[in-house]
Structure 1
Amino acid sequence: MMEKNREQVYTHFHPDEHRFVDKAAEWIARAEQHMVKLTDFLDPRQAFILSTLANRSMDIHIRFDGGHEQSERKRAFVAPEYRALDKEDMGISLISVTSLDNQLKDLDHGDYMGSILALGMKREKVGDIYVTDQGCQFIVASEVADYMRLNLQQVHRVHVQTQQLTIDQLQVSPTRLEEMTLSVASLRLDGIVSDVYHLSRAKILIPIKAGRCKLNWKQEEDPSKPLKSGDVVSLQGFGRFQVLEVEGVTKKGRYRLRIGKYA
């Protein structure tokens, strides 16, 4: 990307996203030169950035795949426009995690993710994780599937069995949300995050201003940013929640919200 064009593109994205913008632009430039790129798993924001940059070129196209249509995290295959993508190997494998005596029913997404990353696995190599009372299934890059199957032997002190399955054996479990109702003075980000995690407004400001909060997978450092129905907020070290509904305003002028915390 030429320096002038780079600066123009940068204006549309947060400074912390510029490094990924550069990578995505390089993948696109190579595809324009008849090369292909299979990326690691991208979150929805990264997929949006890649798609936005790709739309500036008539000579390339992209296929996204994360195991099923509603996947949150997906790999991308970036290729010249003339190349058919429907039969490309997207490098996606499915791992099943179970235990002998059903000790996994109380574990959540964070427990599995923590055990996976503890094996030295990069987050970018892992797709979506589907938790059930019997264990979980998770999507992983095929190049590390054998390593995961052989080395993931324990999750939160529970010994587990792992098995590699075919993608058509994926059982998509509904997202677990712990619902709660809030009454807030405004729809400001800091106020709602404060109430969801039972922290003071002062303590919430620190991680937000330090860039540890994401709104719809985009870093958000403005504590006064108003939230709306459907917004997904994540705070590093605390988890993630979604604003399910802004139900209305009370007689005292406070907003009633329905929140779903990801289990």
Structure 2
Amino acid sequence: MDYLQVFLNAIVVALMAMYVYKNERKMETISTKHDQTENELGVLKIVSKSKEDQIKELKQLLSTKAETEKLSQIENQQLKSNEKGVTYIRWGKTKCAGPSTETIYSGQVGGGHQTHSGASVNYICLPNNPDVADPLKSHDHYGYLYEAEYEVFDFNQPQGIRFGIGQHEVACSACLTKGKLSSIMIPGRKTCYNGWTKEYEGILMSGYHGHAAASEFVCVDRDTEAIAGGSKNENGRLFYPVKTRCGSLKCPPYAADTEVLCFVCSK
């Protein structure tokens, strides 16, 4: 027996040992076992053929196995990518929407007080089921967290926004849209750009321009919701519709004294 025959036989034995080991270590389905049996029979058939045919068929068998493993890796990566996604806050709604979007939690909006010059700038979406926290010492050296209210009434109500939400607490929800890599809030638009998928549409809101505390712009869903039972005028963190002011803002393309549309999109 020459060296080539010894080499081929060693590879065949190694392949057979690999299949036996895999069968002992892991229970496979009937279809998978059937495929493995066919592969083992293919290895045995190679032994009885000429050296040239043995080399040719052995390469084919190894190539098929490598391609199968590569396909399996791609499928596993696809499954993992579908489980991942991008998160965003849906301001003004208690639930997320969309075929591939799930609601992580529902909540109410909070932030710093509108009269405090040192208040935090950002709005935050507070879950409705917080965990119990420890009390702090009686002192004034803290940042403060307040609820947020809609400041939307007949005299400043944008088109399409629900009537009667003034002084009601602002709803929110944390959303996960699966299989996406990024999300963006686009102000001034009522559609997404090409290649992007709509998550929700709304109008731009912020704090009042004359208050001491700074605020941020957020896209509040046009189909606004309020937290049930919360309609007291406590004036903590406030949501006002945003209006365009021409001058430094170029008009056109913008128009003076209009609401600002917004769209949240994902890709």
TM-score, length-normalised on structure 1? 0.19
Which is greater in Rg? 2
Structure having greater relative contact order (Cα 8 Å, sep ≥ 6)? 2
TM-score, length-normalised on structure 2? 0.19
Q: Which has the higher strand share?
A: 1
